[in-house]
Chains A and B, each alone.
Chain A
Amino acid sequence: MDILSVLLILSCLFLLGSSRLHVAIRVVAAQGFLLGILPVVRSMPDITAGIWILSVSTIVSKGLVLPWLMRVCLRNSEIRREIEPFVGFGASLLCGTGLLALAVWVTIRMRLTQSEAPAVLMISSFFLVFVGLFIMVTRRKAITQSLAYLVLENGVYGVGVGMSLDFPFVVELGILLDVFVGVFLMGNLLFHLDLEFEHMDVDKLTELSDLSESAATAGEENA
């Protein structure tokens, strides 16, 4: 299990440093497979039917369906690379190590190490959450955003598996979050978001701000 956790951490570091979206999707798919194996490994001696279902459904959704949807999105949009992130790839890697340290610190402080949850798994799960948030904040493309959301959600799933293998709870959580990603990607596909929030949406969103509203109403009254 520790090996799986370390692989998860490494995959995240890879995501932070890579600009090629195809590869990034493949890495997230691999994460899905790793997370799918996780519950089986965790409850090794006696594996119930519920655990098998959880494992298989996770692999299908996180490892196959969602990455496939993303690849379709990518094909439709003719984008290959993430360009001009707010934080460069080298700097992202550096921040990643900082986040890893934060994850270790949080895990230790919360005394999760002494509970039955395996320490390394908890560290890697927190790290997944942090990296997901980080990528969401620093990257421009909508597809990367949804990728990052999936990573964050993988982290939540990891914590769930680590804390308890209570079958219905984890499944419910996983399904709910996966559905969200699915809807998000379908939205990408259907509405042809330019796959870049920055250009597509900024104009409209700033209109919601208070500062521009007064200008807008003034214009209306003049008209």
Chain B
Amino acid sequence: MELFISGCILLLCSGTAAVLLGRSRAASWVATLGVWAGCGLALVPVIQTLAGRCPDPLRIAWSMPGGSLTLGLDGLSAFFCLPILLISPLAALYGCEYLAHEKKSLGSALFFCNVLIASMLLLMAARNGLLFLVVWEIMAVSSFFLVVFDDEHASVRDAGWTYLIATHIGTGGLLVFFALLGRQAGSLDFEAMGTAKLAPAMASILFVLAVVGFGSKAGFIPMHVWLPEAHPAAPSHVSALMSGVMIKTGIYGLLRALTLLGAPHATWGWALVVIGLASGLFGIILALAQNDIKRLLAYCSVENIGVITLGIGAGVLGRAWGQNGFVVLGFGGAILHVLNHAVFKSLSFFGAGAIAHATGTRDMNQLGGLFKSMRWTGLAFLVACAAICGLPPFNGFVSEFLIYLAGFGGVQAGATETVVLAILLTGGLALIGGLAAACFTKAFGVLFLGEPRSDLANGAHEAGAAMRWPMAALAVACLGIGLFAPLAVRLVAPAVQIVAGSDAGSLGKALSVPIPFLSAIAWASFSLLAMAAGLFFIRRRLPRGREEAMTGTWDCGYARPTARMQYTATSFAQPLTHLFRFILGERKLGSVLQGLFPRGARFETHTPDAAREWFFAPAFRAIDRGVAPIRRMQHGRVHGYLLYIAIVLILLLIWKAGGQS
């Protein structure tokens, strides 16, 4: 544990040093070095824990009432530490170059980035409700400051506010959750909470609070509204860190809460399955309709959180029914997908960042043909897209395959309810996967293929080494987890064991079920790769000694082709967005063409977020009207404020004195 803590302290110290260095170029390197060293130190106990040697928990006295500085690692938190320790150093390195041309001081961005990483690590180790909440808040606030880095734009400030409000709604739920659970258990330590006897009704209330609290961080529908605002607004390496890693703390919290609440009800599982399906479907359908690449990726995060939740729901149902197959494959798939999503989503945000950095825009309708000028980025982004769609031989396939297996197992079990669950799992995942494939064909095709749609895309250039290498490393990780899938499944075993709450023997048996399948798939993947390499080699050899000619892309026999003849991002997705128009509520603005030789015409579409437009916006307007009278207290006169203080102090004194009769 000491190594873990010293890693966190190193992160904080290097962050502070970066603030002091401020504008000098050394600041980003000091902070990045601190991230690498700190994460390296923290990695040692994490690997030890995953290997089965849990470090002794550390207890330090804390003067906070109900709080104790209890820090410990177990299989679950160690596994969730892995994405943090893997992505953070790469994101920090990427950020060095990404922000290098920034005119303002980077001190605060570097500092809050390090604080965010340290707080996520501490959150995984926190074993006390109060400590957990404090670290949770530090995490939320530091990421808020990162989101509003470009605070000179009004849209970024708006996104920051949306995020701050959303995260605090979640924290409100958690506050009540820990207060209620702590009251039942008589202590805020997780150890005591885990053994508390809860009435069924109380346990269900706590479960709902946990879903609201952790779900708003993770991005469950309809609490996802902050994701598509905050991720595009933040610098790209921060988006990668937030989307890839930080929202997973919500999933971690939900799993941890499930271990504290005792034996689960079947209804909880169904609720999670429904939330997962809804998030997955709505997330990917909304992603399809987006034209801002980072917004698209943010909605895709909602979709992946949906897939993870689907797995957790299956696991919870398995626990409620006593079916080990669902438990192990559901939880196992969900937990492995956390790592996988962290890897490929960070990779795709890095890629999007490289594009935005090179061209200055995130609007896909202005880009195109980037594969010619940005080959590295293009390849990395292609790997990320394939992984997101869940295609072998990449990592996204492995975790989704585990959840599919859980579904197939359910069909064999034969009871009505398991078959219903199986249909929901397999059918839902297949639909989500198909839509994801459409979505990322659009993203990759519009961005990298065809011809540049504007001068912005014409001027694109490849990213520098500090941005390229993190992308390459993550692409290799995507492939590696996919190829060595049987090993990856063994990696999640300690985490599954804690969530499943069952003994090791039956667990081991259930975990060995997918191994033969995955080994076969791994061999197939290897041969696929070998075949691809062989074909590539032949393709290189083939034109030797023959004449080569260059021609335009999208020529198609036209005499004068222009870049505007291509599919745009909007038109490519149009058939699908038209199919789901009842969900999207797309608004079309523009004029209809008239006459044989129409003059000018314009056409634009906007896709509002339904939850934001029809639920949160009216709700907050109503609250705003309700509290308007209270705002008069905030008049800006010093004397008034002093008067408030005086009145409160004197009333307190009178109350206190009056009580002592």
Contact A221-B154, Cβ < 8 Å, known A111-B660, A209-B634, A211-B631: yes
**Chain A residues with CB below 8 A from B649, complex form:** 133
CA distance A66 to B377 in the complex (A): 67
Shortest A187–chain B CB gap in Å is 14
Is A202 interfacial (CB-CB < 8 Å)?
Answer: yes
Contact A206 B635, beta carbon cutoff 8 Å: yes
CA distance A105 to B655 in the complex (A): 12
Shortest B648–chain A CB gap in Å is 11
Contact B639 A137, beta carbon cutoff 8 Å: yes
Is A83 interfacial (CB-CB < 8 Å)?
Answer: no
**Contact partner of B638 among A106, A111, A197, A210, CB < 8 A?**
A197
**Contact partner of A102 among B634, B636, B637, B650, CB < 8 A?**
B650
Contact A106 B657, beta carbon cutoff 8 Å: yes
Contact pattern, A 121-160, Cβ under 8 Å of B = 1, otherwise 0: 0000000001001101110100000000000000000000
Further contacts, 4 of them, CB under 8 A, given A109-B661, A137-B639: A136-B642, A205-B637, A206-B637, A211-B634
CA distance A138 to B637 in the complex (A): 12
Instruction: Give the residues from 606 to 649 in chain B that come closer than 8 angstroms, CB to CB, to chain A.
Output: 631, 634-639, 642-643, 645-646, 649
Shortest B647–chain A CB gap in Å is 9
Shortest B634–chain A CB gap in Å is 5
Contact pattern, B 579-593, Cβ under 8 Å of A = 1, otherwise 0: 000000000000000
Shortest B139–chain A CB gap in Å is 26
Shortest A64–chain B CB gap in Å is 28
CA distance A136 to B641 in the complex (A): 10
Report the interface size class on chain B: 20 to 34
Is B520 interfacial (CB-CB < 8 Å)?
Answer: no
Contact A109-B658, Cβ < 8 Å, known A210-B631, A210-B634: yes
**Chain A residue with Cβ nearest B636:** A206
Is A220 interfacial (CB-CB < 8 Å)?
Answer: yes
Is B654 interfacial (CB-CB < 8 Å)?
Answer: yes
Is A169 interfacial (CB-CB < 8 Å)?
Answer: no
**Chain B residue with Cβ nearest A212:** B636
Contact A110 B657, beta carbon cutoff 8 Å: yes
Report the interface size class on chain A: 20 to 34
**Chain B residue with Cβ nearest A201:** B638
Shortest B617–chain A CB gap in Å is 16
CA distance A130 to B642 in the complex (A): 12
CA distance A105 to B654 in the complex (A): 9
Contact A133 B637, beta carbon cutoff 8 Å: no
Contact B642 A202, beta carbon cutoff 8 Å: no
Is B653 interfacial (CB-CB < 8 Å)?
Answer: yes
Is A217 interfacial (CB-CB < 8 Å)?
Answer: yes
**Chain B residues with CB below 8 A from A209, complex form:** 631, 634-636
Shortest B600–chain A CB gap in Å is 28
**Chain A residue with Cβ nearest B658:** A109
Contact A137 B642, beta carbon cutoff 8 Å: yes
CA distance A109 to B148 in the complex (A): 52
Is A208 interfacial (CB-CB < 8 Å)?
Answer: yes
Contact A134 B635, beta carbon cutoff 8 Å: no
Contact A134-B636, Cβ < 8 Å, known A110-B657, A220-B154: no
Q: How many A-B contacts if CB must be within 8 Å?
A: 56
Contact B657 A138, beta carbon cutoff 8 Å: no
CA distance A216 to B485 in the complex (A): 56
Shortest A218–chain B CB gap in Å is 10
Contact A130 B154, beta carbon cutoff 8 Å: no
**Chain B residues with CB below 8 A from A198, complex form:** 637
Contact B643 A137, beta carbon cutoff 8 Å: yes
**Chain B residues with CB below 8 A from A130, complex form:** 650
CA distance A110 to B660 in the complex (A): 7
Contact A202 B637, beta carbon cutoff 8 Å: yes
Q: Sample 24 A-B pairs with CB under 8 A, ordered by A number.
A: A86-B639, A105-B657, A106-B653, A106-B654, A109-B660, A109-B661, A110-B657, A111-B660, A136-B639, A136-B646, A137-B639, A137-B642, A137-B643, A138-B639, A140-B639, A198-B637, A201-B638, A205-B637, A205-B638, A206-B635, A206-B636, A206-B637, A217-B154, A220-B154
CA distance A182 to B121 in the complex (A): 43
Shortest B588–chain A CB gap in Å is 25
CA distance A109 to B660 in the complex (A): 7
Contact A205 B639, beta carbon cutoff 8 Å: no
Shortest A198–chain B CB gap in Å is 8
**Contact partner of A133 among B634, B646, B656, CB < 8 A?**
B646
Shortest A10–chain B CB gap in Å is 22
Contact pattern, A 170-196, Cβ under 8 Å of B = 1, otherwise 0: 000000000000000000000000000
**Chain B residues with CB below 8 A from A202, complex form:** 636-637
Shortest A159–chain B CB gap in Å is 12
**Chain B residues with CB below 8 A from A221, complex form:** 154
Shortest A65–chain B CB gap in Å is 25
Shortest A25–chain B CB gap in Å is 21
**Chain B residues with CB below 8 A from A133, complex form:** 642, 645-646, 649-650
**Chain B residue with Cβ nearest A107:** B657
**Chain A residue with Cβ nearest B654:** A106
**Chain A residues with CB below 8 A from B639, complex form:** 86, 136-138, 140, 197
**Chain B residues with CB below 8 A from A211, complex form:** 631, 634
**Chain B residues with CB below 8 A from A106, complex form:** 653-654, 657
Shortest B657–chain A CB gap in Å is 4
Shortest A103–chain B CB gap in Å is 10
**Chain B residue with Cβ nearest A139:** B639
Contact B636 A205, beta carbon cutoff 8 Å: yes
Contact A137 B637, beta carbon cutoff 8 Å: no
Shortest B148–chain A CB gap in Å is 14
**Chain B residues with CB below 8 A from A217, complex form:** 154
**Chain B residue with Cβ nearest A133:** B646
CA distance A168 to B87 in the complex (A): 51
Closest 7 A-B residue pairs measured CB to CB? A206-B636, A109-B657, A205-B636, A133-B646, A137-B643, A209-B634, A137-B642
**Chain A residues with CB below 8 A from B154, complex form:** 217, 220-221
**Chain A residues with CB below 8 A from B656, complex form:** 110
**Chain B residue with Cβ nearest A197:** B638
**Chain B residues with CB below 8 A from A111, complex form:** 660
CA distance A133 to B652 in the complex (A): 15
**Chain B residues with CB below 8 A from A110, complex form:** 656-657, 660
**Chain A residue with Cβ nearest B649:** A133
CA distance A137 to B631 in the complex (A): 20
CA distance A136 to B647 in the complex (A): 13
**Chain A residues with CB below 8 A from B638, complex form:** 197, 201, 205
**Chain A residues with CB below 8 A from B658, complex form:** 109
**Chain A residue with Cβ nearest B632:** A211
CA distance A160 to B636 in the complex (A): 34
CA distance A149 to B473 in the complex (A): 61
